[in-house]
Chain A
Amino acid sequence: DIQLTQSPSTLSASLGDRVTITCRATQSIGSAMAWYQQKPGKAPKLLIYDASSLESGVPSRFSGSGSGTELTLTISSLQADDFATYYCQQYETYPWTFGQGTKVEIK
C-alpha cells in the first residue's frame, strides 16, 4: 500500500495567513492526488483533484501543486471558513489511501 504522511499534523494560523500543507507518499503517485476539507460532524468535501485542479465551486484561494512523492495544498489567504481538517488522498493505485489529516486552528 502507498502510505501518505501529512505535515504538519496541526497548524495554528491567523486570518489572512498563507498556509501550506505537505503530503509525502512512499512511492510515486504522479498527479493522482486529491485534497479534502472536513469540518466537525460533516462529510469531507473535495477541494482539489489531479493534484492541482480546483473542484467546481471551491474558492480560488485554494491551490494544489506537486507530483510524484511530494505534493502540497496551499491556502493563499486564510479565511474564517477555512478552519477545518484537511486530508490528502491518492488514487494512483488501489487500495486508495489517505493521509492522517492536518488540523488548521485559529492562532
Chain B
Amino acid sequence: QITMKESGPTLVKPTQTLTLTCTFSGFSLSARGVGVGWIRQPLGKALEWLSFVYWDDAKVYSPSLRPRLTITKDTSKNQVVLTMTNMDPVDTATYYCVRKHPQSAADYWGQGTLVTVSS
C-alpha cells in the first residue's frame, strides 16, 4: 500500500523560507522511472505543479517559480524535501506531495498541508 504524507509549518511570515517534507511508503524512489514531487492549490482555485525529483536525482521545476524552489530526496529515509524561499501571501495554498508514475501521471497523493503566509 502506497502512502504519501506532507509535514511542515502551517504558518510562515512573508519573506521567510518554507520547508516541506514528504514522507512516503510502499515504493522506493530508487525504482527506475519513479518521481516524487509537489503540486499546490490556493483555496478555491486550480492546481499548480511545482517540482519533481526522479529516481536518478534528475530534477524539474516550474519555470515561473524556479528561482525560489529547491527539491531534494533522501532515498534511505523515503523522504523528499521542498524549500521555497521568499514566501508571499499569494503562496498561501494547500501543498500536496505526489508520486509520479514512471510513464504517466500523479497516481498517489498525500492529504495535503495548508500553508498560510501572513505576518
Interface bracket on B: 10 to 19
Q: Does B49 contact A46, Cβ atoms closer than 8 Å? A: no
B85 CB to nearest A CB, Å: 19
Q: Does B47 contact A89, Cβ atoms closer than 8 Å? A: yes
> In B34-79, which residues have CB < 8 Å from any A CB?
46-49, 60, 62-64
Q: Does A34 contact B (CB under 8 A)?
A: yes
Interface bracket on A: 20 to 34
Interface of B: prevailing SS? loop
- How far is B64's CA from A45's CA once the two chains are assembled, in angstroms? 26
Q: Does A101 contact B63, Cβ atoms closer than 8 Å? A: no
Q: Does B47 contact A34, Cβ atoms closer than 8 Å? A: no
- Interface with B: A20-28, A75-83, A91-99, which one? A91-99
Q: Does B1 contact A (CB under 8 A)?
A: no
- Interface with A: B9-17, B23-31, B104-112, which one? B104-112
Q: Does B110 contact A43, Cβ atoms closer than 8 Å? A: yes
Q: Does A16 contact B (CB under 8 A)?
A: no
Contact of A97 with B49 at beta-carbon distance under 8 Å, contacts A43-B96, A43-B110, A43-B111 already known: yes
* Nearest chain A residue, comparing its CB with the CB of B112: A43
- How far is B106's CA from A32's CA once the two chains are assembled, in angstroms? 12
Contact of A49 with B111 at beta-carbon distance under 8 Å, contacts A89-B47, A98-B48 already known: no
A59 CB to nearest B CB, Å: 17
Q: Which of B49, B96, B112 has most A Cβ within 10 Å?
A: B49
Q: Does A100 contact B (CB under 8 A)?
A: yes
